[in-house]
Chain A
Amino acid sequence: MTTTTSRRESVAAPAAPPKGRARRLRQDWWIYLFLLPTVLGYGAYTVYPLLASWWYAFLDWPGFAGAGTFIGLENFERLIGDDLFWNAFWNSLVFLVIAVPLRVGLALALALVLNARKTPFKGFFRTLFFLPVVTTGAIVGVVFTLLLDASGPVSLSLVWSGLIDSPENFAANAGTSLYAGIAVWVWKWLGITLIYWLAALQTIPQGVHEAAMIDGAGAWAEFRHVTMPLLVPFLVIITLIDTVAAFNVFDLMQTLTGGGPSFSSEVIEIFIFRTAFQANVPQLGYASAAAVLFGLLTMVLAVAQALGMRWARGRRGES
Chain B
Amino acid sequence: MTLRLRRPSVRQVVTVVLLLVLGGLWVYPFVWLVSASLKTSSEIFGSGLGLLPEEPVWENYARAWSEVGFATYFVNTLVITVGTVLLVVVRSALAGYVLGRYDFIGKKFLIGLFLVTFFLPEGYTIIPITQLTDQLRLLNTHTGVILGLGAGGQIASTLLYAGYFRRLPKELEETARLDGAGPLTVFFRVMLPLAWPITATVVILTYLFAWNVYLLPLVFTLSEPDLRTLAVGMTVFVGERGTDWSGMAAAAVISLIPVIAVFVALQRKFVDSIAGAVKQ
Contact = CB atoms under 8 A, between A and B. Distances in A.
Interface in A1-52: 1, 3, 5-8, 10-11, 13-14, 21, 24-25, 28, 30-35, 37-42, 44-50, 52
Interface stretch (B52-60, B61-69, B98-106, B193-201): B98-106
B45 A244 contact: no
A302 interface: yes
Contacts of A131: 26-27, 30, 260, 263
B255 A28 contact: no
Interface in B110-125: 110, 113, 115-125
A149 to B, nearest CB: 7
Interface in B123-164: 123-132, 134, 147-148, 150-153, 158
A142 B214 contact: no
B90 A35 contact: no
A249 to B, nearest CB: 10
Given A49-B128, A131-B30, A142-B238, A302 B212 contact: no
A126 to B, nearest CB: 7
Interface string A172-195: 000000000000000100111001
B49 A37 contact: no
A196 B215 CA distance: 26
Contacts of B46: 151
Interface residues of B, number: 106
A153 B32 contact: yes
B241 interface: no
A291 B128 CA distance: 11
Interface in B19-64: 19, 22-23, 25-30, 32-33, 36, 44-46, 48-49
A61 B28 CA distance: 47
B76 to A, nearest CB: 14
Given A28-B105, A203-B279, A251-B214, A291 B123 contact: yes
Interface residues of A, number: 113
A163 interface: no
B95 A34 contact: yes
Contacts of B23: 125, 128-129
A130 interface: yes
B45 A151 contact: yes
Interface string B236-260: 0010000001001100100110011
A212 interface: no
Interface of B: 8-9, 11-12, 15-16, 19, 22-23, 25-30, 32-33, 36, 44-46, 48-49, 87, 90-92, 94-95, 97-98, 102-105, 110, 113, 115-132, 134, 147-148, 150-153, 158, 170, 173-174, 177-178, 180, 182-184, 187, 208, 211-215, 219, 222, 230-232, 234-235, 238, 245, 248-249, 252, 255-256, 259-260, 262-264, 267, 270-271, 274-276, 278-279
6 contacts: A134-B263, A136-B211, A138-B214, A251-B231, A273-B126, A294-B123
